[in-house]
Structure 1
Amino acid sequence: MRTEDFQLISSILKERSGLVLTEDKVYLLESRLTPIARQKGMETLDDLINEVRLRRKEDLLNEITEAMTTNESFFFRDNTPFDHLRDKVLPELLGARSNVKRLRIWCAAASTGQEPYSIAITLKEMQAKLQGWNIEIVGTDLSQQVLEKARAGLYSQFEVQRGLPIKMLIKYFTQVGEMWQISEELRNMVTYRPFNLLDNFSILGQFDVVFCRNVLIYFDQATKTQVLDRIRSQMPEDGTLFLGAAETVLGVSDKFKPVAGHRGMYMTSDAPALRKVG
């Protein structure tokens, strides 16, 4: 791929999604965009890039952006955040919100739904403690295509084998042909909506817990800071943020601080002094 072609596509991706594409990822451009070229009746990827350069059609730019920002996901990824949610975050919030009995949890870049459904399963397993509570899980993603799959809650054998305990599969999924579908009750626990992390966060409302895992690694430093600062603006002072294992707020944002002994978990920097001690 010519340098000018790579620069054109990478600049479009950066502008529309925040994704920073380095030149060692040329293979991703070729593997993910060539099928789009063929769907459009074009012979080569060069034809697709020329079309972008000449016309900049919005629907085509959307397709390219979605193709490049679709990332893999699997159930209970890394396990630890879900353990922390169950054992530490939720018990604290249940005490702090006992008067209103309402919580909101946001999964940014929810992809095909495995993360929000992992949270839903975690909550379902705690249902005896959550009687009378209104808990909303919101999953967002840039890609309409992955959100449609998430809403359907339909997964292949390979997908359910990745991270999902067999007892959870049997308890919460039904086999549909060669696929597995998560129960309607759990599907109804999650609301999916399209959202770009470069957009205005205020339309989403406030969240007590935010999962923004394995997303920041694709952004440059300035975009990481902006996203973290915007997340903080949508959280109360006792909110909790979960990031991916390879991500951190250190040197990026002063709006959050790590929770000692809880990898990938962060509290707001102005949280009450007694919070999360121990």
Structure 2
Amino acid sequence: MSPLTKADFDYICDLVYKRSAIVLDSSKEYLVQSRLASVTNQNGCASLAELVTGLRTQPSGRLSQMVVEVMTTNETSFFRDLHPFEALKKVVIPELLAKRPGEPHVMIWCAAASSGQEPYSIALLLREHFPQISQGNVRIIATDLNTQVLEQARQGIYSQIEVNRGLPVTMLMRYFEKSGVNWQLREDIRHMVEFRECNLIQPWPLIPPVDILFLRNVLIYFDQETKKSILAKVRRTLKPDAALFLGGAETTMNIDDCFERVPLEKTAYYRVRKAT
């Protein structure tokens, strides 16, 4: 398949940026072309040039949505990086419950949920260690801009390779059922998570005030101004003393001074500074 011309490559980069704020540059040219190949084949286009012609004709149609979705990175796994989940179990949730004796309701938002392993990991953690809130006293909302991965997440069906990545065998046996060659999460666990489409740079759906927000490994794809805009909206979403978890390579430092970092044993979370 012939490579993209510079004009077509620049058009794709501009389209993806406008629709998702994901920054692509010349170093990503091979990645862009390889990912576009699947969209080209699915839509019966003879070449990448023909695909781009179709995009220029209908820049806001389903084809452009497919291009944006294929450019998103959906790397995820159960209990990814583990330490934030340990922090939830040992510190964040116990402290939250101690502040609310008799009112154990918790609102959690996973804002870049991909195919669901992250929010389901939280649901499993709650079921294992906090039965007082896992049965109807927790609301977990999981969002992503990629409609295809959200559909997989709703089904809760994962391959052997996917369940092998980070999921303890005891949890696999207790909470999953065999589905052909794959594994499906039990219905009662799936019902703990509500999946919605959300593009972080567009108007957000109505999200109730949040106690715990996982916004991990997504800010790294945005430029500085987009990060500032998202974090400003995050502040308005969080309850007082709420915990914001970012990816290991992400920080609010030099982006939004209204947050303070709270170090824990092997990780950290962020919370909004109290007014002085």
Specify the alignment match of 2:38 in structure 1.
35
- CA apart distance, 1:107: 0.2
After TM superposition, list the pairs within 5 Å mapping 1:212-223 onto structure 2: 212-223=215-226
Cα RMSD of the aligned pairs, angstroms, is: 1.7
Specify the alignment match of 1:267 in structure 2.
271
The unaligned stretches of length 5 or more in structure 2 are none
Query: What is the CA–CA distance in structure 1 between the aligned matches of 2:172 and 2:209, rounded to whole Å?
Result: 32
In structure 2, give the amino acid aligned to 1:176: S
Deviates more, 1:121-130 or 1:246-255: 121-130
Deviates more, 1:227-236 or 1:54-63: 54-63
After TM superposition, list the pairs within 5 Å mapping 1:38-49 onto structure 2: 38-49=41-52
Deviates more, 1:28-37 or 1:226-235: 28-37
Deviates more, 1:202-211 or 1:181-190: 202-211
Three-state SS of the structure 2 residue aligned to 1:259 is: strand
Specify the alignment match of 1:224 in structure 2.
227
Partner deviation per Cα, 1:252-278 (whole Å, 9 max, x = no partner): 11221111235241122228x9xxxxx
Q: In structure 1, which of residues 3, 7, 19 is the aligned counterpart of residue 6 of structure 2? A: 3
Query: What is the CA–CA distance in structure 1 between the aligned matches of 2:80 and 2:134, rounded to whole Å?
Result: 27
Query: What is the CA–CA distance in structure 1 between the aligned matches of 2:91 and 2:216, rounded to whole Å?
Result: 18
Specify the alignment match of 2:87 in structure 1.
84
Deviates more, 1:89-98 or 1:151-160: 89-98
Specify the alignment match of 2:144 in structure 1.
141
Is 1:251 paired with 2:254? yes
Is 1:206 paired with 2:209? yes
In structure 1, give the amino acid aligned to 2:84: P
In structure 1, give the amino acid aligned to 2:222: F
Query: What is the CA–CA distance in structure 1 between the aligned matches of 2:37 and 2:144, rounded to whole Å?
Result: 23
After TM superposition, list the pairs within 5 Å mapping 1:43-58 onto structure 2: 43-58=46-61
Q: In structure 1, which of residues 185, 188, 191 is the aligned counterpart of residue 191 of structure 2? A: 188
| Contact kept in structure 2, 1:101 and 1:132, CA below 8 Å | no
Q: How many equivalent residue pairs?
A: 272
Deviates more, 1:54-63 or 1:33-42: 54-63
| Contact kept in structure 1, 2:87 and 2:264, CA below 8 Å | no
Query: What is the CA–CA distance in structure 2 between the aligned matches of 1:95 and 1:133, rounded to whole Å?
Result: 18
- CA apart distance, 1:201: 3.4
| Contact kept in structure 2, 1:107 and 1:139, CA below 8 Å | yes
Specify the alignment match of 1:119 in structure 2.
122
Partner deviation per Cα, 1:111-164 (whole Å, 9 max, x = no partner): 000000000011001134437761000000101111110000000001001111
Partner deviation per Cα, 1:174-226 (whole Å, 9 max, x = no partner): 11110011111110100001011012336222111000000001000110111
The unaligned stretches of length 5 or more in structure 1 are 274-278
Three-state SS of the structure 2 residue aligned to 1:239 is: strand
Q: TM-score, normalised by structure 2?
A: 0.93
Q: TM-score, normalised by structure 1?
A: 0.93
Q: In structure 2, which of residues 61, 67, 72 is the aligned counterpart of residue 69 of structure 1? A: 72
In structure 1, give the amino acid aligned to 2:106: L
Query: What is the CA–CA distance in structure 1 between the aligned matches of 2:119 and 2:134, rounded to whole Å?
Result: 20
Specify the alignment match of 1:25 in structure 2.
28
